[in-house]
Amino acid sequence: DVKVTQSSRYLVKRTGEKVFLECVQDMDHENMFWYRQDPGLGLRLIYFSYDVKMKEKGDIPEGYSVSREKKERFSLILESASTNQTSMYLCASSFPPSEYTDTQYFGPGTRLTVL
Amino acid sequence: SQQGEEDPQALSIQEGENATMNCSYKTSINNLQWYRQNSGRGLVHLILIRSNEREKHSGRLRVTLDTSKKSSSLLITASRAADTASYFCATEGNTPLVFGKGTRLSVIA
């Protein structure tokens, strides 16, 4: 079974802190994604990566950066956390689309609270 | 974005009844997927239907796709309390998957 793990289930940080959220997948997937999920807004794509050292902006990249130094690991960085970044953060991974299928496998999520 | 929109936003049914959720989207797609999310957890892939397919079954799940109307439906038959979750459609075109806002299903025992 594909396993996607995230470094923390719950995290509480203070405004202005630098926050690292880590995601690791064990299935040699090429693609990795970071989403945030907020009530009434659904899942919104922050950043994604199709290969090591590659990154692409999603729909809401402002205030975030990412790092992908190894294939299995994709980190989301909040350079200076703000209260409006309080959210559930979900990581996902997938193989490259083949025959137009891009099924994503999700981690359990990190609920981040910024005070 | 070609975001899918699920309807209804919330649905409450009795155990044993069928649950139907709908998804509408805006632009052409390669496939449409449905995911499930238990409260406070990650999403789990349920079923994928390609743009050239009209109907697909998986266990108690039945998905239909009407590309002319840009809509899909997910039917869960003989629902169980364990089906209580949020259900999301996700469309795949020339961009990464785009998720809708979800339907919250409550199955009452």
If DSSP codes are grouped into helix, strand and coil, which group holds residue B81? helix
In the predicted model, is pLDDT for residue B51 greater than 70?
Answer: yes
Q: Quote the pLDDT of residue A69.
A: 96
CB B96 to CB A92 under 8 A? no
Of B48, B50, B100, the CB nearest to A42: B100
Q: Quote the pLDDT of residue A99.
A: 53
- The amino acid at residue A49 is S
In the predicted model, is pLDDT for residue B1 greater than 60?
Answer: no
Give mean pLDDT, residues A1-10.
89
Of chain A, the percentage scoring pLDDT greater than 90 comes to 83
CB A106 to CB B42 under 8 A? yes
**How close A88 comes to chain B (CA, Å)?**
8
In the predicted model, is pLDDT for residue B2 greater than 60?
Answer: no
Residues of B in contact with A107 (CB under 8 A): 42
Which pLDDT band, with edges at 50, 70 and 90, does B77 fall under? very high
Residues of A in contact with B39 (CB under 8 A): none
Q: Quote the pLDDT of residue A97.
A: 64
**How close A29 comes to chain B (CA, Å)?**
15
Q: Quote the pLDDT of residue A98.
A: 60
In the predicted model, is pLDDT for residue B88 greater than 50?
Answer: yes
